[in-house]
Amino acid sequence: MKLEQIKTPALMVDLDAMEANLRDMANFFAGRRCKLRPHFKNHKAPILAWRQMRAGAIGITCATVREAEILVEHGIDSILIANEISGAEKPEVLAQLARHASVMVAVDNCHSVRDLAAAQRNRKSQIEVLVDVNIGLNRCGVEPGQAALDLARYATEHGLAVRGIMGYEGHLQAVPPSPERDEVVRRGTKAIVDSAALLETEGISASIRSTGGTGTYAVAGDYAGITEIQAGSYLLMDNIYVSRRAPFQRSLTVLATVISTRGRERAILDCGVKAVSGERGLPILKDVPGAHLTALNAEHAIVELDADSRALTPGQKVEVWVHYSDATVNLHSNMYGVRHGELEEIFPVAH
């Protein structure tokens, strides 16, 4: 297949940029005690998970039981589901996976602990858990310290294998680096490390202390006692992380075709919210100065052109920089890897 044959809208990855990101992150962790367990939810591409493993990752982080299933199917055998699961169905699937791979899961409440314990009894397997502590995001997680210890004890009593502590500072990914922000990051990592120490004092194993994202990996990865980092967006990057000054290159665009124009002022592209997410912000046109993407409909992007912008013509292909990669990759079945204008490889996205 040639680049010209790709039907728009299509998700494109600049291979030079992506490989530079892969290398730069690997270099950061080379020789460090803290290791990278990159998040799968961002790219959802098993091929890319394997490239991260070969670049030194100790395993893969993911968000859902379905993602863990995909990873196990693709031969990854050390997985962290950095998220709570609950109910009857998903713990059963997890307990089955646990017979074939090490799959840790976050816990932050007694209901989930009981659901997981019931599932592992049914499946005769051993589920491993990290106690999730709230380090300021106020989404999931128990309070660090005593509440984390109480839940770890409860999990142990129910036969789950406690492996350590995790906490995700999602609210701090949005803040560009500064001495003040970095100090707040360190307060969160300290709460994780201290909670793990408390568990170990009480005889509960807590050798894994996991945290960090693409905005905070450097600070969290330098903090003594943190053993692994969950960053994932670094590989493909997006406009959000560029605005947060993450030190990686954008690689992800959506290729679109101009399908209609209104004079020189306006062009309509065939990429709407079914092909590129408008959540959190709009994409930006690549290499068309003076052209502004001003709205996304279901199947259309509206582009307004300044008077001195070059004209766009129906049939012409343009690219837009993805604003929010998690939500955009999720809309596609393939990513097209391009180098110097040539299609080099295709990365299937698993759902």
Binding site for a second copy (CB under 8 A): 4-8, 41, 63-64, 66, 83-90, 93, 108-109, 111-112, 115, 134, 138-141, 170, 257-262, 266, 268, 270, 273-274, 277-279, 296-300, 302, 313-315, 317, 326-327, 330-331, 333, 351
Hey, what are 156's tokens?
């142990």
Q: How far is the CB of 46 from a second copy (least distance, A)?
A: 17
Identity of the residue, 6 or 12, whose beta carbon is nearer to a second copy in the bound complex: 6
Those residues whose C-beta lies under 8 Å from the C-beta of residue 166, and which sit 6 or more positions away, are 80, 82, 106, 130, 131, 132, 133, 192, 208, 209, 210, 211, 230
* Nearer to a second copy (CB atom), residue 118 or residue 218: 118
Indicate the residue among 313 and 340 with the shorter CB distance to a second copy. 313
At its nearest, how many Å lie between a second copy and the CB of residue 86? 4
Q: Which residues pair with 164 in a beta bridge?
A: 130, 208
Question: Considering the complex, what minimum distance in angstroms separates the CB of residue 33 from a second copy?
Answer: 30
Q: Which is nearer to a second copy, 169 or 270 (CB)?
A: 270
Kindly state the DSSP code that residue 317 receives in the 8-state scheme: E
Among residues 138 and 224, whose Cβ is nearest to a second copy?
Answer: 138
Instruction: Give min distance, CB of 318 to a second copy, in A.
Output: 12
Closer to a second copy by CB, 42 or 195: give it.
42
Q: How far is the CB of 230 from a second copy (least distance, A)?
A: 13
Kindly state the smallest distance separating residue 210's Cβ from a second copy, in Å. Answer: 17
- How far is the C-alpha of 98 from the C-alpha of 82, rounded, in Å? 15
The closest of 240, 146, 223, 139 to 184, measured between CA atoms, is 223
Cα distance between residue 36 and residue 230, in whole Å? 7
Shortest approach of a second copy to residue 93 CB, angstroms? 8
At 293 the three-state DSSP class reads: strand
Reading the block at residue 116, the tokens are 């997981």
Percent helix, percent strand, percent coil in the chain, to nearest 5: 30, 25, 45
The CB-of-289 to a second copy minimum distance in angstroms stands at 23
Calpha distance 34→55 (Å, rounded): 15
Contact (CB, 8 A) for 230 and 270:
no
Nearer to a second copy, 5 or 203 (CB): 5
Question: Cis link prior to 9 (omega < 30° from 0)?
Answer: yes
Q: Choose between 118 and 161: whose C-beta lies nearer to a second copy.
A: 118
Q: Hey, is 164 helix, strand or coil?
A: strand
Q: Contact at 8 Å (CB) between 52 and 28?
A: no
- List the beta bridge partners of residue 338: 14, 343
